[in-house]
Amino acid sequence: MFKLRNQELIILIVTVVIFAGFSVFLDKFFSTGNLLTLMRSVSILGILSIAMAVVVISKGIDLSLIATLAVGTALASVLSSGDVLPSIDLPFIYAVILGFIFTAILCAMTGILVAYWDMASVFVTLAMAGVIYGLGRTLFIRDELNYLPEDAAWLEYLGRGQLFGVPMPIICFLMLAIIMHLLLTKTTFGKFVYSIGDSGLAARTAGVPVRPILVMIFILAGTVAYFAGLLTAGAISSINTRMVAGSMIYDVLLVVVVGGIGLSGGKGGMHNVILGTLLIGTLLNGMVIMDISFIVQNLIKGIILLLAIMTDTLLNPRDEQTTQQGDI
Amino acid sequence: MKFKALKLIIAVVAMLLPLNAQAEKMGIADPARDKYYSALEGKKVAFVPLAMGFDLTEGWYAGMKKALEPLGVEMILRDPNWSADAGSKAISSLISEKPDAIVVHNPDVQTYAKLLRKAEKAGIHVVQVNMKSAFPTDAFVGADWIEIGELVTQKVIDQCGAGTSQKIAIVQGVLTAAASAYQLRGVSNILEKNPNIKVVSNQAADWDSTKARAITETTLQQHPDLCGIVGFWDGMDIGTGAAVKEAGMHEKVFLATSGGGGKTGCDNLKNDIFDVFVSYDVPGQARDLSNVVKSLLQSGNKPGKAGKVSLFTQLQTLTKDNMASYMGSGACWTVESLASN
């Protein structure tokens, strides 16, 4: 089904080796309970990586994903809590829809700036992260920590429930990966995404509506991130907007790059995201079991990201064709 | 001579009599009263927290506003939103604006130390809240983190005596934060006295509830016989508690944590997310802060010249069963309740 490129083969081997090593040397690592915990703890990261992957395949990057996730979800919970709209007793499900509209509009703005102003996505999304967070916090969200209202039980089921013994976030992650896989491989939209990633200029010459597609890509990524935010909130019945200032966006990049989606665009798919998520999940889980200190954990993650980017550069060298302004 | 003196006394008494009669009718004037009000009227007090938007800082600010603004004190708020750099800039610009006092919430012991010295030299009283700087100023108001670490650990160890697995886990905040580092010292103090206790996991969750949750999930998988967890902050330990509860182990695993003592913390006690919640009583701290500012402004002392005082907060150890009795002394507060009269 998938043709593995060299890079993917390397990562697959690395994952299998680490996984086997942990299974042999770490007590209780290879147990159904721990493997489900492992997958569960990275499934939100995996969903965010799905969002990032789509953007990276189109040769962009979206650094505003965490801001979208946190502000959109916090907005939904604030709207239904009665703090912002005290006169209306807004059911949570409507608040979720309003949160979606808010994120969609802002993501469309990002897309328009990238597509129609020809600005580099790395700068646009870096700035938009600040705009999204600032707008949300000034206009609506007074507190950093926002609790879900009581009628959000369905979301709590999605965030912490189980189906046939499998935690719901894992199911959501896999379902979303399948849907995105079909979207990328079976639809015209998907083919356009890859062609834009390969070469925007060639795609435009061939008649691909590059600009509208780019806007759609950013809205799609933002929507997936918003869904990841809802799941996060469901898992702990609250959402903390402070996560915007955290390092999660780098973990997302780590999954995408380590998974083997080339930063030069046009390559990779959902199997890379799943592979990357599994590798990072295995590592994180193993490091917690070994009780490795936080600083050393960050060091290990940093080294792995560097190694992955080095491999990426070795296997997909830059040349005049693939380099463009704003390229990361 | 004697007669003269007697005459004088009679004259004075006679003069005072009508006054006394008037006092009976009108009450007496307090000679120190005007001094109090005039010392505070028109003064400016600036507040530089780590960030607004979370229970501690919102609570302090609301409490100070409520106590000081009716006295004619102007409150200035500079919110650096978790950036130590923005905080330094805010303090620098305040030094040139010269308010009468600055209430500052340090990100760590070093960053603001020089600026705080400069502020006092410029004639501004500096009060530090909850997080100490290496440079002691006129006053410190806040929790004794080492005491909190000891108290929380002791509560967990009390539940994990002989006959249990004696395995505990520690969920720290950010390693570099003073609040986390000092608490860890308190934890170590108690652990040294209890060599039987095994710390099976000692991880930093970055004050992030999602990370705390993932770490705890893994720890519980690895050690299903875990006896207790020492948490470092209630906002983060929502995640720790959620993982314990989801594993169906909240009856077996004892979770103790600490925080500002707000309503959400109490709700988490009620819902069996936490077993013990050590509160550093934000309403009490807000009152301490306001009173320290009031006394500094009245004292007439030059900033930094008089003795430096520390007011460690009286801690409240809340549980599901006793929290109702603490509500009268400010536990389970909301920002609204602190702001309203």
C-alpha neighbours within 13 Å on the C-beta side of residue A214: 28
How sure is the predictor about A34, in pLDDT bands with cuts at 50, 70 and 90?
confident
CB proximity A35 to B under 8 Å: no
How sure is the predictor about A301, in pLDDT bands with cuts at 50, 70 and 90?
confident
Residues of A in contact with B54 (CB under 8 A): 143-145, 242
> What is the predicted pLDDT for the residue at B16?
67
Across the interface, of B204, B221, B238, the residue whose CB is closest to A28 is B221
Q: What is the pLDDT of residues A105-117, one digit of tens each?
A: 999 999 999 999 9
CB proximity A150 to B under 8 Å: no
Cβ separation A289–B51 shorter than 8 A: no
Cβ separation B213–A294 shorter than 8 A: no
Residues of A in contact with B175 (CB under 8 A): 293-295
DSSP A159-192: HH-EETTEEHHHHHHHHHHHHHHHHHHHSHHHHH
Cβ separation B203–A160 shorter than 8 A: no
Q: What is the mean pLDDT of residues B266-276?
A: 92
Strand-pairing partners, residue A167, are A162
Sheet of B101-104, strand order: B74-77, B44-48, B101-104, B125-129, B139-142, B309-312
* CATH value at residue A173: 1.10.3470
Q: How far is A141 from chain B (nearest CA, A)?
A: 9
Q: Which residue has the higher pLDDT, B177 or A196?
A: A196
What's the CA gap between A328 and A121, in Å, rounded? Answer: 9
Q: How far is A225 from chain B (nearest CA, A)?
A: 16
Strand-pairing partners, residue A163, are A166
3-state class (DSSP) for residue B26: helix
- Contact, A51 vs A318, CB < 8 A? no
Does A180 score more than 70 pLDDT? yes
Cβ separation B222–A241 shorter than 8 A: no
Q: Which of B221, B245, B334, B338 to mutate to test the interface with A (most CBs of A within 10 A)?
A: B221
Does B341 score more than 60 pLDDT? no
Nearest to B82 by CA among A138, A233, A241: A241
Structure tokens at B325: 């009795």
Does A318 score more than 80 pLDDT? no
Cβ separation A41–B218 shorter than 8 A: yes
Burial class of residue A306 (count of CB atoms within 10 Å of its CB; 0-12, 13-18, 19+): exposed
Does B306 score more than 90 pLDDT? no
Nearest to A136 by CA among A219, A216, A79: A79
C-alpha neighbours within 13 Å on the C-beta side of residue A89: 2
> What is the predicted pLDDT for the residue at A160?
85
Q: What is the pLDDT of residues B136-155, one digit of tens each?
A: 999 999 999 999 999 999 99
CB proximity A288 to B under 8 Å: yes
Nearest to A269 by CA among A23, A65, A7: A7
Q: CB pairs below 8 Å between A and B: how many?
A: 85
ipTM of this complex prediction, to 2 decimal places: 0.72
- Contact, A103 vs A226, CB < 8 A? yes
> What is the predicted pLDDT for the residue at B278?
95
- Judge whether A325 lies within some domain: no
Q: What is the pLDDT of residues A113-162, one digit of tens each?
A: 999 998 889 999 999 999 999 999 888 888 888 888 888 889 989 988 88
Does B240 score more than 80 pLDDT? yes
Does A325 score more than 60 pLDDT? no
- Judge whether A294 lies within some domain: yes
Cβ separation A285–B218 shorter than 8 A: yes
Per cent of chain A over pLDDT 90 is: 43
Q: What is the pLDDT of residues B104-117, one digit of tens each?
A: 999 888 889 999 99
Across the interface, of A141, A240, A285, the residue whose CB is closest to B209 is A240
Does A2 score more than 70 pLDDT? no
Does B18 score more than 70 pLDDT? no
Tokens 């006054």 correspond to: B19
Strand-pairing partners, residue A240, are A145
Q: Which of A44, A168, A242 to mutate to test the interface with B (most CBs of B within 10 A)?
A: A242
Q: What is the pLDDT of residues B173-224, one digit of tens each?
A: 887 777 888 999 999 999 999 999 999 999 998 888 888 998 998 899 889 9
Tokens 């039987």 correspond to: B196
Does B298 score more than 70 pLDDT? yes
Cβ separation B221–A288 shorter than 8 A: no
Q: Which of B54, B208, B210 to mutate to test the interface with A (most CBs of A within 10 A)?
A: B210
Nearest to B138 by CA among B315, B313, B291: B291
Does A61 score more than 80 pLDDT? yes
Does A317 score more than 80 pLDDT? no
- Judge whether A82 lies within some domain: yes
Q: How far is A71 from chain B (nearest CA, A)?
A: 14
> What is the predicted pLDDT for the residue at A8?
77
What's the CA gap between B95 and B104, in Å, rounded? Answer: 13
Nearest CA in chain B to A288: B215
**Domains (range + CATH), chain B:** 35-142+282-313 (3.40.50.2300), 145-279 (3.40.50.2300)
- Judge whether A92 lies within some domain: yes
What's the CA gap between B142 and B280, in Å, rounded? Answer: 8
Nearest CA in chain B to A162: B246
Q: What is the mean pLDDT of residues A249-273?
A: 87
Q: How many folded domains does chain A comprise?
A: 1
- Judge whether A133 lies within some domain: yes
Instruction: Name the phi and psi angles at B277, rounded to 5.
Output: -130, 105
Q: Which residue has the higher pLDDT, B19 or B145?
A: B145
If you average pLDDT over every residue of chain B, what do you get? Answer: 89
Domain enclosing residue A153, as ranges: 6-315
Nearest CA in chain B to A42: B214
- Judge whether A54 lies within some domain: yes
